[in-house]
Amino acid sequence: MCVFCKIVKGEIPSYKIYENKNVLAFLDISQVTPGHTLVIPKKHYENIFELDEKISGELFKATNEIAKKLQKKLQINALNIINNNGPLAGQEVFHYHIHLLPRYENDNVKFNYPKHEFDKQKLEEIHKKILGN
């Protein structure tokens, strides 16, 4: 059984901050910033590609609610939502989860994305690939 399934079952302790029938949220064990929270479906889905669409609706609704709770209780006005799917994307726990990362002045968190300027032809090619059969 995976580590988050164990948290759902109560076999591993966690600092829960939200719970309903299908969704659980708890503090990440390694806090990138204070209040760093994980929102998960109680049922095991490995990643976004497996996730049930009804559950994804419930998850985002809960995520929205929790974000507002963190905003109010931690007095923050900036927050990143991160979700890693697959090892190439940095996923380490293979039970779907959404990170909520409250942001603070001078918190020293930096996202280092490369930014590529694609020309029209390249963008059209990608667009066609996604929309085509």
Q: Which does 5 bind (CB under 5 to 8 A by kind): ligand 5GP, Zn ion, none?
A: Zn ion
Stretch in the footprint of ligand 5GP (CB under 6 A) among 45-53, 87-95, 102-110, 125-133: 87-95
Exposure of 96 in the CB half-sphere (CA atoms within 13 A): 20
CB of 69 closer than 8 Å to CB of 86 = no
Residue 96 lies near ligand 5GP (rule: CB under 6 A): no
Cβ neighbours of residue 130 closer than 8 Å, sequence gap 6 or more: none
CB of 6 closer than 8 Å to CB of 12 = yes
Residue 46 lies near ligand 5GP (rule: CB under 6 A): no
Exactly one of 36, 44, 95, 97 is catalytic; name it: 97
The residue within the footprint of ligand 5GP, chosen from 1, 2, 9, 12 (CB under 6 A), is 12
- Rule CB under 5 A: which residues touch Zn ion? 2, 4-5, 44, 95
Tokens representing residue 86 in the block: 């697959």
Residue 109 lies near ligand 5GP (rule: CB under 6 A): no
Residue the block writes with tokens 């497996």: 50
